[in-house]
Amino acid sequence: MSLKIAVIVGSTRPSRVGRRIADWFTDQVSNTPNVDFTLIDLADVKLPFLDEPGMASTQQYQKEHTKKWSKLIDSFDGYVFVTPEYNHGYPASLKNAIDYLYNEWARKPVAFVGYGSLGGSATLEHLVPVVSQIGMVPLLNTSVKVIDVWGAFDEEGNFSEGNLRGSSPEKLMDNLVWWAKALQKARTN
Ligand SMILES: Cc1cc2nc3c(=O)[nH]c(=O)nc-3n(C[C@H](O)[C@H](O)[C@H](O)COP(=O)(O)O)c2cc1C
Protein backbone atom coordinates (compact mmCIF):
# COMPACT_ATOMS: atom_id res chain seq x y z
CA MET A 1 0.00 0.00 0.00
CA SER A 2 1.33 3.46 -0.80
CA LEU A 3 1.97 6.09 1.85
CA LYS A 4 0.67 9.62 1.86
CA ILE A 5 3.14 12.10 3.31
CA ALA A 6 2.50 15.81 3.88
CA VAL A 7 5.37 18.28 3.82
CA ILE A 8 4.15 21.24 5.88
CA VAL A 9 5.69 24.70 5.48
CA GLY A 10 5.60 26.18 8.99
CA SER A 11 6.49 29.81 8.31
CA THR A 12 4.09 32.28 6.72
CA ARG A 13 5.83 35.68 6.58
CA PRO A 14 6.02 37.33 3.11
CA SER A 15 9.82 37.16 2.66
CA ARG A 16 10.23 33.70 4.15
CA VAL A 17 12.70 31.11 2.94
CA GLY A 18 10.55 28.27 4.31
CA ARG A 19 8.76 27.55 1.05
CA ARG A 20 12.06 27.25 -0.82
CA ILE A 21 13.44 24.86 1.79
CA ALA A 22 10.28 22.73 1.56
CA ASP A 23 10.40 22.71 -2.26
CA TRP A 24 14.09 21.74 -2.17
CA PHE A 25 13.42 18.93 0.34
CA THR A 26 10.46 17.58 -1.63
CA ASP A 27 12.47 17.66 -4.83
CA GLN A 28 15.27 15.63 -3.19
CA VAL A 29 12.96 12.84 -2.08
CA SER A 30 10.21 12.93 -4.71
CA ASN A 31 11.28 9.59 -6.20
CA THR A 32 10.88 7.70 -2.89
CA PRO A 33 9.11 4.45 -3.91
CA ASN A 34 5.43 4.11 -2.99
CA VAL A 35 5.19 7.57 -1.40
CA ASP A 36 2.83 10.33 -2.55
CA PHE A 37 3.93 13.76 -1.35
CA THR A 38 1.63 16.73 -0.78
CA LEU A 39 3.08 20.13 0.01
CA ILE A 40 0.96 22.08 2.48
CA ASP A 41 1.84 25.74 2.80
CA LEU A 42 0.33 27.31 5.93
CA ALA A 43 0.49 30.68 4.17
CA ASP A 44 -2.10 29.31 1.71
CA VAL A 45 -4.17 27.45 4.31
CA LYS A 46 -4.65 30.75 6.18
CA LEU A 47 -6.04 29.37 9.43
CA PRO A 48 -7.16 32.11 11.83
CA PHE A 49 -5.89 31.94 15.41
CA LEU A 50 -7.65 28.99 16.98
CA ASP A 51 -11.34 29.89 17.12
CA GLU A 52 -13.05 26.58 17.83
CA PRO A 53 -15.12 26.64 21.05
CA GLY A 54 -14.70 22.90 21.71
CA MET A 55 -11.65 20.79 22.47
CA ALA A 56 -10.03 19.39 19.33
CA SER A 57 -10.02 15.87 20.80
CA THR A 58 -13.86 15.81 20.68
CA GLN A 59 -13.81 16.61 16.93
CA GLN A 60 -17.02 18.64 17.35
CA TYR A 61 -15.84 21.25 14.88
CA GLN A 62 -18.03 24.25 14.14
CA LYS A 63 -15.92 26.21 11.66
CA GLU A 64 -15.64 25.30 8.00
CA HIS A 65 -11.89 25.99 7.98
CA THR A 66 -11.42 23.47 10.81
CA LYS A 67 -13.50 20.80 9.05
CA LYS A 68 -11.42 21.30 5.91
CA TRP A 69 -8.12 21.21 7.85
CA SER A 70 -9.25 18.10 9.72
CA LYS A 71 -10.15 16.23 6.52
CA LEU A 72 -6.86 17.18 4.89
CA ILE A 73 -4.59 16.25 7.82
CA ASP A 74 -6.51 13.05 8.54
CA SER A 75 -5.72 11.78 5.04
CA PHE A 76 -1.95 11.40 5.63
CA ASP A 77 0.18 8.59 7.01
CA GLY A 78 3.03 10.84 8.10
CA TYR A 79 4.33 14.38 8.08
CA VAL A 80 7.46 16.44 7.57
CA PHE A 81 7.40 19.73 9.45
CA VAL A 82 9.62 22.32 7.76
CA THR A 83 10.31 24.92 10.42
CA PRO A 84 12.55 27.91 11.05
CA GLU A 85 13.89 28.92 14.44
CA TYR A 86 12.25 32.09 15.76
CA ASN A 87 13.83 33.17 19.05
CA HIS A 88 14.72 29.56 19.84
CA GLY A 89 11.16 28.42 19.20
CA TYR A 90 9.06 27.51 16.19
CA PRO A 91 6.59 29.89 14.50
CA ALA A 92 3.20 30.57 16.06
CA SER A 93 1.66 29.65 12.70
CA LEU A 94 2.87 26.06 13.10
CA LYS A 95 1.70 25.75 16.72
CA ASN A 96 -1.70 27.14 15.74
CA ALA A 97 -2.04 24.64 12.90
CA ILE A 98 -1.11 21.77 15.25
CA ASP A 99 -3.49 22.86 18.03
CA TYR A 100 -6.56 22.93 15.76
CA LEU A 101 -6.60 19.11 15.65
CA TYR A 102 -5.79 16.12 17.82
CA ASN A 103 -6.84 12.66 16.66
CA GLU A 104 -6.01 13.48 13.05
CA TRP A 105 -2.29 13.71 13.96
CA ALA A 106 -2.21 10.87 16.46
CA ARG A 107 -0.48 7.52 15.94
CA LYS A 108 1.45 8.89 12.98
CA PRO A 109 5.14 9.79 12.60
CA VAL A 110 6.52 13.29 12.10
CA ALA A 111 10.00 14.11 10.79
CA PHE A 112 11.63 17.52 10.85
CA VAL A 113 13.49 19.86 8.53
CA GLY A 114 14.86 22.72 10.64
CA TYR A 115 16.68 25.81 9.48
CA GLY A 116 18.22 28.97 10.84
CA SER A 117 21.62 30.04 12.00
CA LEU A 118 22.37 26.66 13.62
CA GLY A 119 19.91 24.52 11.69
CA GLY A 120 16.94 25.09 13.96
CA SER A 121 18.27 22.65 16.58
CA ALA A 122 16.68 24.51 19.50
CA THR A 123 13.28 24.73 17.84
CA LEU A 124 13.19 21.03 16.98
CA GLU A 125 13.75 20.16 20.64
CA HIS A 126 10.68 22.27 21.51
CA LEU A 127 8.52 20.43 19.00
CA VAL A 128 9.16 16.98 20.47
CA PRO A 129 7.06 17.36 23.67
CA VAL A 130 4.31 19.16 21.74
CA VAL A 131 3.82 16.49 19.09
CA SER A 132 4.23 13.74 21.71
CA GLN A 133 1.31 15.20 23.67
CA ILE A 134 -0.99 14.65 20.69
CA GLY A 135 0.20 11.08 20.20
CA MET A 136 2.56 11.58 17.27
CA VAL A 137 5.88 9.74 16.97
CA PRO A 138 8.65 12.36 16.61
CA LEU A 139 11.65 11.27 14.54
CA LEU A 140 14.18 13.73 15.92
CA ASN A 141 17.15 11.45 15.24
CA THR A 142 16.93 11.88 11.48
CA SER A 143 16.21 15.62 11.31
CA VAL A 144 17.53 17.55 8.33
CA LYS A 145 19.15 20.81 9.44
CA VAL A 146 20.04 23.75 7.21
CA ILE A 147 22.55 26.09 8.83
CA ASP A 148 23.27 29.74 7.90
CA VAL A 149 20.01 29.64 5.96
CA TRP A 150 20.43 33.07 4.33
CA GLY A 151 23.33 31.60 2.32
CA ALA A 152 21.69 28.27 1.56
CA PHE A 153 20.63 29.15 -1.99
CA ASP A 154 22.77 30.77 -4.68
CA GLU A 155 21.53 33.42 -7.12
CA GLU A 156 20.12 30.75 -9.44
CA GLY A 157 18.23 29.22 -6.54
CA ASN A 158 20.49 26.15 -6.24
CA PHE A 159 20.84 24.69 -2.76
CA SER A 160 24.34 24.67 -1.26
CA GLU A 161 25.08 21.21 0.18
CA GLY A 162 27.66 22.83 2.47
CA ASN A 163 24.77 24.26 4.53
CA LEU A 164 23.37 20.82 5.28
CA ARG A 165 23.80 19.27 8.74
CA GLY A 166 22.15 16.34 10.51
CA SER A 167 20.58 13.75 8.25
CA SER A 168 20.28 13.74 4.51
CA PRO A 169 16.74 14.06 3.09
CA GLU A 170 16.97 10.41 1.96
CA LYS A 171 17.87 9.19 5.45
CA LEU A 172 14.98 11.18 6.92
CA MET A 173 12.64 9.52 4.43
CA ASP A 174 13.99 6.01 5.17
CA ASN A 175 13.09 6.52 8.81
CA LEU A 176 9.75 8.20 8.10
CA VAL A 177 8.69 5.46 5.67
CA TRP A 178 9.59 2.74 8.19
CA TRP A 179 7.41 4.32 10.89
CA ALA A 180 4.63 5.36 8.53
CA LYS A 181 4.31 1.79 7.21
CA ALA A 182 4.42 0.24 10.69
CA LEU A 183 1.83 2.63 12.10
CA GLN A 184 -0.40 2.48 9.02
CA LYS A 185 -0.58 -1.29 9.50
CA ALA A 186 -1.19 -0.93 13.25
CA ARG A 187 -3.98 1.65 12.73
CA THR A 188 -5.85 -0.62 10.34
CA ASN A 189 -5.56 -3.77 12.50
C1 LIG B 1 11.24 36.56 14.57
C2 LIG B 1 12.53 35.90 14.18
C3 LIG B 1 13.34 35.34 15.15
C4 LIG B 1 14.51 34.66 14.80
N5 LIG B 1 15.23 34.02 15.77
C6 LIG B 1 16.23 33.17 15.39
C7 LIG B 1 16.85 32.32 16.36
O8 LIG B 1 16.54 32.31 17.53
N9 LIG B 1 17.81 31.45 15.92
C10 LIG B 1 18.18 31.39 14.59
O11 LIG B 1 19.02 30.57 14.25
N12 LIG B 1 17.62 32.20 13.67
C13 LIG B 1 16.66 33.07 14.04
N14 LIG B 1 16.05 33.89 13.10
C15 LIG B 1 16.53 33.84 11.73
C16 LIG B 1 15.71 32.84 10.93
O17 LIG B 1 16.13 31.52 11.18
C18 LIG B 1 15.79 33.12 9.43
O19 LIG B 1 15.44 34.47 9.23
C20 LIG B 1 14.86 32.24 8.63
O21 LIG B 1 14.94 32.62 7.28
C22 LIG B 1 13.42 32.38 9.10
O23 LIG B 1 12.57 31.51 8.40
P24 LIG B 1 11.51 32.05 7.33
O25 LIG B 1 12.34 32.86 6.32
O26 LIG B 1 10.93 30.82 6.69
O27 LIG B 1 10.51 32.88 8.05
C28 LIG B 1 14.90 34.60 13.44
C29 LIG B 1 14.09 35.19 12.45
C30 LIG B 1 12.93 35.83 12.81
C31 LIG B 1 12.05 36.43 11.74
15 CA closest ligand 1 atom index: 25
Task: Please tell me the predicted confidence (pLDDT) of residue 147.
Answer: 98
**CA 21 from centre of chain:** 12
* Predicted TM-score of the model (pTM): 0.98
Using alpha carbons only, give the angle 74, 78, 84 rounded to the nearest 5 degrees.
105
- Closest CA to ligand 1's atom 29: 86
Say how far apart CA 132 and CA 106 lie, in whole Å. 9
Distance 10 CA to ligand 1 centre (A): 12
AA identity, residue 79? Y
Counting the structural domains of the chain, the total is 1
Task: Please tell me the predicted confidence (pLDDT) of residue 189.
Answer: 82
SS3 of residue 64 by DSSP: helix
In short, whether 118's Cβ falls inside 6 Å of ligand 1 is: yes
Structural domain for 99, as ranges: 3-188
17 CA closest ligand 1 atom index: 25
What's 138's domain CATH number?
A: 3.40.50.360
Say how far apart CA 37 and CA 180 lie, in whole Å. 13
In short, whether 11's Cβ falls inside 6 Å of ligand 1 is: yes
- Closest CA to ligand 1's atom 9: 85
Using alpha carbons only, give the angle 7, 159, 38 rounded to the nearest 5 degrees.
15
Distance 94 CA to ligand 1 centre (A): 14
Of 179, 92, 188, the closest CA to residue 136 belongs to 179
Contacts of 119 (CB under 8 A, 6+ apart): 145, 146, 147, 165, 166
- Closest CA to ligand 1's atom 2: 86
Distance 86 CA to ligand 1 centre (A): 5
Task: Please tell me the predicted confidence (pLDDT) of residue 1.
Answer: 73
**Would strands 3-9 and 109-115 be described as parallel, antiparallel, or unpaired?**
unpaired
Mean pLDDT by 10 residues, the chain (189 residues): 95 97 98 97 98 97 98 98 98 98 98 97 96 98 97 94 97 98 95
Ligand 1 site-directed mutation target among 7, 16, 23, 85, most atoms within 8 Å of CB: 85
